[in-house]
Structure 1
Amino acid sequence: MDDVTIEPIDLATRASAALDVQAAAFGLTPDELAVRLQIVLRHAEVPGVRAFGALHGDELVGFGYGMPNNREHWWSSVIEPYLAANGNEGWLDDAFSVTELHVHPRHQGKGLGRALITMLCGASPLPRTILSAVDRETPARGLYRSLGYQDLARRVMFPNTPLPYAVMGAPLPFPPVRSARRVRLPWRA
């Protein structure tokens, strides 16, 4: 995938393009996109938010963003009881939260998700990272496990979402890649 670059992006400027990627990857409806656009624009203003995009020319084909976790945010308030029930409530502190990570289906399976999450979490001074993912065996969950993520809570139910989620956490920095398959991407300065 030598024609794709991974670079920091302005989340607010690229919000619509990012949601187009998420819609393709996750099958979102126009109504869901409208709600999520407001959320992404709010997140773009949070202190410490960091976003990276996978760009094929000027087309955004993948993105990820996150921020230092804050117990007062909605996501933390939903997952806290599930984490507490498993003795993992401490993971809400001193953690970088991966808020969204998506790659367009045309570009999946090429190492872009790994490159995005590695860049996203790589500069964090925090000792760990947390995220939530649909609670079933998917390539995304396999990727997260390969980076050292472990399940902290399962069968987490978010309001207005019929699918259960898993909350996963990993220490930072991520371990070195052990696989013989490495993806080389030209990184822009």
Structure 2
Amino acid sequence: MEGIRLVRVVKIDGDEGLLESIDGLYRRVWNQSIKERLEKHMKYDGFRGYIMKSDDDEIIGFSYGYISRSGQYYHDLLANELGPIKYEKWLEDCFEFVELAVHPNHRNQGYGTILIHELLKEVTNKTTVLTTQVNNSSARNLYQRLGWLVVKEPFVPSKNDSPYVIMGKDL
């Protein structure tokens, strides 16, 4: 049975060690910290998050999101970008899919798909939205394969950012 890994999906909670492990994975994937932002987002309405752990307790990946509300930084950025008609469709009753990260050694094995399904399976909002870099073809392919649509492209969150794409899905 060598090569087969048993994995389990666990809810993200405020455990300091867990948050440090998530931050370590995020640093490995994106070369920056997420800990402070994650701690802030954990206080938002409807926060949901999951990690995937291997049989030896290694964090393979994580995903999280929350209910998108007026007054939240990213919600307001998206609202300004989308305009009133798309706002009504995509943001009025929306779960914001904030992060998905999978360890580089564990990609293309279905773990991202599992984390996405787990995150969204009990969400009661009408829609969900996310953003990813325009040139992140592996992420875009994954989301499109799972039924996400391009809502707007390009989207440049701030003048120093690279272009992103806003994607949405009816739930």
Question: Does the pair score TM above 0.5?
Answer: yes
State the Cα distance separating 1:94 from its structure 2 match: 0.8
Paired residue type of 1:69? S
Unaligned runs of 5+ in 2: none
Q: Which residue of 2 aligns with 1:9?
A: 12
**Aligned CA distance change for structure 1 residues 115 and 135 (closer, same or farther; 3 Å):** same
CA contact (8 A) 1:131 1:168 kept: yes
Paired residue type of 2:96? S
CA contact (8 A) 1:102 1:113 kept: yes
Q: Which residue of 1 aligns with 2:46?
A: 48
Distance 1:163 1:11 in 2: 31
> Matched residue of 2:8: which SS?
strand
Asked whether 1:25 is paired with 2:23, we answer: no
Distance 1:60 1:120 in 2: 16
State the Cα distance separating 1:160 from its structure 2 match: 6.5
CA contact (8 A) 2:68 2:94 kept: yes
> Matched residue of 1:18: which SS?
helix
> Matched residue of 1:169: which SS?
strand
Q: Which residue of 1 aligns with 2:65?
A: 66
State the Cα distance separating 1:21 from its structure 2 match: 1.5
State the Cα distance separating 1:119 from its structure 2 match: 0.5
Asked whether 1:78 is paired with 2:82, we answer: no
Q: TM-score, normalised by structure 2?
A: 0.88
Q: Which residue of 1 aligns with 2:139?
A: 140
The alignment-based identity, stated in percent, is 25
Q: Which residue of 2 aligns with 1:88?
A: 86
Distance 1:135 1:64 in 2: 20
Q: TM-score, normalised by structure 1?
A: 0.80
Unaligned runs of 5+ in 1: 173-189
Instruction: Figure out how many residues of one structure are paired with residues of the other and give that number.
Output: 165
CA contact (8 A) 1:12 1:41 kept: no
State the Cα distance separating 1:79 from its structure 2 match: 1.7
- Per chain length, whose mean CA-contact separation is higher, i.e. which structure has more relative contact order (CA < 8 Å, sep 6+)? 1
State the Cα distance separating 1:81 from its structure 2 match: 2.1
